[in-house]
Amino acid sequence: MNEEAINLLVDKHPDLKGCRAKLEAMVTGAYCMHRSWGFGKIKGFDAATGRLLIDFLDKPSHPMDPAFCVDKLDILEPTNILVRQQTEPEAVADMIKKRPADLIVEILRHCPDQSASPAELENLLRKLIGEDFKAWWTKTKKALVKDARVATPGKKIEPYTLREDPLSPEQEILEDFYYIKNPLKKIQLAEKLYQLSGNVDEIRQDLPKIHETLTTAIREAKQLNQANRLHGCWVRNDLARHLAREKIITEHGGVEPENIKKLVEEVVDALEPTSKSLILETHDLSELAENLPSSYQKRFLDLIGRVYPDDWTNVLIQLLRNSSGKFTAECINFMVEREQGDLLRDTLLRWLKEQNVRAPVLLWIVKNRTSRKFKMLVDKELVNHRLLIAIFYAIDNEALQSTTNKRIPLADVLSEDSELISDLLADANQETARDLAQTLMLNQGFEDLTKKSLLARFIKMYPKIQSLVDSDAQTESEQLMVSSASYEKRKQEYEHLVNVLLPKVVQDIATAKEHGDLKENSEFKMAKQDRDTLMARRANLERDLEKARVTDFSDAQTDSICVGTIVEIKNSKGVASKYSILGAWDSDPDNHIISYKTPLGQSLLTHKVGETVTIDIANSQEKWTIKSIRRWVDGKK
């Protein structure tokens, strides 16, 4: 727009006087950003219509009235990265491909205050790179953490900022260590600083102060849990050993004394709290172990051996029982390396016999069943159909207790490992395999397609199991006609069983286990029996509710006896009876209501008025004549 056009526009719209500078920037060739239509370039100005002509990506030569777009259209500086992508395409492409950190630095250099929020950067990168920018941005963020020119955000709401004076990543960590008040974060930063100290002089010089600050944080921070404190204690000890060793060598004229290790440990042992004191005051070692960083789990087990020199194997067995994830493998490796394989094997066999093996241990056994290292530990006495029973129980139990759709690792392994079922069933007879197949069909931890896939593996080894599948399929296809009231009653029973009874019996089992020897534990056996009964009832209820078809019986006909009719019958002695034949769950003999699934209901169905029916009553057969048929819903009106 020239000055004459701008004057005419301002005279017509006086409120645009404050926008004159922006209007003057709307010249041919200028690049712009519209809030709705995105990036564009001003192609020219049509004086006849008083409109700008702008080339947008999807709208070439689009006419826009300056008076109405001035607040929605921003003119971009030549240094803007989107403009440079048009004017210097090769340079920008090179930064995107080879120098991503330089690209972000260029963007920040031309931002207000030389900073931008993650959301602002992502919005710009989406325009610059396209919808595939996310993978590029994820990789670039990692590079920025190591770039001395950029201060990266500690939280999502904080901005990326261009530093006036470049700061090395190590110096930034050191600054954060002194600035941050959170004791757990302080421990983590101190650990990083100690790892970096061997290569960075500035950090090496700060180690005494880092050690002092960390010691105070561990001693005074009340919000740290026991695992955090032990982690912090170990980091502090590592720092103390390093500093003590350097001091002792210096005091001996640079010569390392023979008993330096003893001298160093005397210094460390004088620090409070000690790692041993933290272990002794911990009520739940399993919980502590699970909360430790995985890189410290082996160190924890070694500490257990030193704290309990006469009883460490029993402590470790208990830790293994309650372990999960990587810690399960660490416990087993630790015992095997210390020649406790026989004890471990006997323990696993006992747990299996008592059906008391938890899912993480089962998962370890399954994954290591072909390992050479654990060949003497995981043999056929452990890997057999009894292990499959334990696996099915663990999967069902985890599905029962889960409140989300989170995947069950044991179920995934059983599905993905094509050789596992055949390995576990190698010693099973036909009857055992059939029972296990039936258990699988009732298991809540598998989707229907997965069950079918696993059953196919059973059938491949034991073809007769196909009849079980066919029978189940036939039962599943049968529908049940039920009334709304009976359906709601059965649904409430199911919800009470799942939400109240089963969680209670699971807790009862856990409580009973704490009472000692499971072989003589009657409470444990009774609780398990209750659980099995409830699990079977749950499976039946789920199957019935899935097959149920709710009806109000309004479509019942009277030309023959059907569900939803009232029938009057009379025997040869002139004794009359009247029955309402209703849904599968509606039997109420006291009120002469019978389910169509009962033997009496089945023998009456489809018969017409005047026909004679033979009915079994009290182990004797009597002939009854159909006298009348009417609809049950009509009788309610």
Q: What is the pLDDT of residues 457-509, one digit of tens each?
A: 999 999 888 876 665 555 545 688 999 999 999 999 988 988 888 888 888 87
Extract long-range pairs of 572-578: CB within 8 Å, 24+ residues apart.
572/622, 572/623, 576/627, 577/624
298, 437, 443, 535 from 451: Cα distances, Å? 38, 9, 9, 18
Asked whether the beta carbons of 173 and 196 are under 8 A apart, the reply is yes
Residues 277, 206 share a domain: yes
Q: Would you state the pLDDT for residue 265?
A: 87
Residue 248 lies inside a defined structural domain of this protein: yes
pLDDT mean over 512-534: 70
Domain with 577 in it: 565-636
- Tokens 């933290």 locate to 278
Mean pLDDT, the chain, rounded, equals 87
Residue 299 lies inside a defined structural domain of this protein: no
Last residue of a domain, one of 219, 248, 282: 282
67-87 pLDDT tens trace: 889 989 999 999 999 999 999
191, 286, 330 from 300: Cα distances, Å? 17, 11, 10
- The fraction of the chain above a pLDDT of 70, given in percent, is 93
Greatest CA span in the chain, whole angstroms? Answer: 123
Residue 380 lies inside a defined structural domain of this protein: no
Residues 44, 96 share a domain: no
Residues 242, 158 share a domain: no
169, 578, 606, 614 from 621: Cα distances, Å? 95, 18, 19, 6
- The fraction of the chain above a pLDDT of 90, given in percent, is 43
- Closest residue by Cα to residue 296 from 338, 330, 340: 330
> Of the given ranges (196-205, 288-297, 355-364, 483-492), which has the lowest mean pLDDT?
196-205
Asked whether the beta carbons of 313 and 335 are under 8 A apart, the reply is yes
Asked whether the beta carbons of 301 and 330 are under 8 A apart, the reply is yes
Residues 262, 216 share a domain: yes
Strands 480-483 and 548-551: parallel
Cis peptide before 14 (omega within 30 of 0): no
- Closest residue by Cα to residue 414 from 387, 382, 380: 387
Q: Would you state the pLDDT for residue 217?
A: 81
Q: Would you state the pLDDT for residue 143?
A: 87
Instruction: Name the pLDDT band for 145 (thresholds 50, 70, 90).
Output: confident
Residue 206 lies inside a defined structural domain of this protein: yes
Cis peptide before 153 (omega within 30 of 0): no
Q: Hey, is 478 helix, strand or coil?
A: coil
Residue 308 lies inside a defined structural domain of this protein: no
196-241 pLDDT tens trace: 776 666 677 888 888 888 888 887 777 788 999 999 999 989 888 8
Residue 558 lies inside a defined structural domain of this protein: no
CA 515, CA 632: separation in Å to the nearest integer? 57
Last residue of a domain, one of 517, 550, 583: 550
pLDDT mean over 619-626: 82
Residue 461 lies inside a defined structural domain of this protein: yes
Residues 484, 470 share a domain: no
The phi and psi torsions of 632 (rounded to 5 degrees) equal: -65, -40
Residue 49 lies inside a defined structural domain of this protein: yes
Q: Please tell me which residue, 48 or 400, carries the higher pLDDT value.
A: 48
- Closest residue by Cα to residue 560 from 630, 479, 480, 633: 630
> Of the given ranges (53-67, 106-120, 299-313, 497-511), which has the lowest mean pLDDT?
497-511
Residues 123, 62 share a domain: no
Q: Would you state the pLDDT for residue 200?
A: 61
Residues 521, 572 share a domain: no
Residues 120, 85 share a domain: yes
Q: Please tell me which residue, 202 or 536, carries the higher pLDDT value.
A: 536
148-206 pLDDT tens trace: 788 888 777 789 998 877 666 677 777 778 788 888 888 888 888 888 776 666 677 88
Helix (H) or strand (E) holding 279: helix 275-280
Residues 526, 509 share a domain: yes
9-24 pLDDT tens trace: 988 888 888 899 999 9
Residues 192, 226 share a domain: yes
CATH code at position 616 = 3.10.50.30
Is the predicted pLDDT of residue 291 greater than 70, yes or no? Answer: yes
Q: Would you state the pLDDT for residue 26?
A: 93
**Residue 223 half-sphere exposure, CB side, CA atoms within 13 Å?**
6
Residues 490, 414 share a domain: no
CATH code at position 53 = 2.30.30
Domain count for the chain, please give it: 6
Q: Would you mind telling me the total number of residues written for the chain in this entry?
A: 637
Last residue of a domain, one of 264, 282, 300: 282
Q: Which of the listed ranges 360-369, 390-399, 472-481, 512-521 does the model predict with the highest average pLDDT?
A: 360-369
Residues 262, 207 share a domain: yes
